[in-house]
Amino acid sequence: MATPFAEVQFPVNISYGAVGGPGFHTTILTLASGFERRNIDWSLARGTWDLSQGLKTQQELDQLLDFFYARFGRAIGFRFKDWSDYRSSLPGENLQTLGVTGGGVTEFQITKTYGDAGGSYVRPILKPVAGTFMLYVNNEPSADFTIDTTTGLVTPGSDLTSDGGLTLTYYCEFDVPVRFDTDQMKTKITDYNVFDWEQITIIELRAGD
């Protein structure tokens, strides 16, 4: 049975004020000698955000409640725009690498690479925003492709995949697949049209969640 997911975007006016970002899980063992051993438990980061900081008006609270009810709390995932990181690259920066044609490969997963001189991290991009994806073949723009905006899989046209050694790069905007991390929305009315609420957390979903 497929895990429920709605291809709808959380209201961007509320997500603009969200607080959070990527997180990892590391086990640290401190030895008797005082030295430590660190184990990377997660090969992929998992982001969390608090939405409560983005609520400013009664209208936004109404939007949040509509959205929360329609997702049945934690049950149904949805798309979230992380305003701190929603583009494959900034204008003027190098495009992200998609892959190289050949070897029988006919589709490519969108990824975004983060890194510096000391190392790098490759992030799968699962929810590109429709209408923003641009493909480049050997640095030249191409319209010879299809893209699945629900999975981030790109299928170049047969004319491209029949030629080996073509470098594919891309640009796009993307959302993050997430779910609410609570089944109960706790809102307190402190005065007329003045509300207080506990932390409203959302958590990133990985492929298959």
Q: What is the pLDDT of residues 144-192, one digit of tens each?
A: 999 999 999 999 998 888 888 999 999 999 999 999 999 988 776 666 6
Tell whether 125 and 153 lie within a shared domain. Answer: yes
Tell whether 44 and 103 lie within a shared domain. Answer: no
Tell whether 155 and 203 lie within a shared domain. Answer: no
Tell whether 7 and 76 lie within a shared domain. Answer: yes
Choose among 7, 10, 2: nearest CA to 203: 10
For residue 126, give Cα distances in angstroms to 7, 8, 117, 136, 180.
12, 14, 27, 19, 18
Structure tokens at 58: 């009664």
Tell whether 157 and 196 lie within a shared domain. Answer: no
Residues 87-116: pLDDT tens digits?
A: 999 877 889 999 999 888 899 999 999 999
Mean residue pLDDT across the chain: 91
Tell whether 1 and 65 lie within a shared domain. Answer: yes
SS3 185: coil
Instruction: Report the run of H or E that residue 67 belongs to, with start and end.
Output: helix 58-70
Torsion-angle region of residue 103: left (phi > 0), alpha (psi -120 to 50) or beta?
A: left
Tell whether 161 and 204 lie within a shared domain. Answer: no
For residue 36, name the pLDDT band (cuts at 50, 70, 90). very high
Tell whether 81 and 180 lie within a shared domain. Answer: yes
Tell whether 131 and 205 lie within a shared domain. Answer: no
| Number of separate domains in the chain | 2
Asked if residues 9 and 80 have their Cβ atoms less than 8 Å apart, the reply is yes
Instruction: Read off the pTM.
Output: 0.90
Bridge partners of 134, per DSSP, are 171
Choose among 176, 192, 191, 201: nearest CA to 54: 201
Total Cβ atoms within 10 A of residue 147? 20
Quote the domain boundaries for residue 184.
1-85+176-209
SS3 15: helix
* pLDDT greater than 80 at residue 75: yes
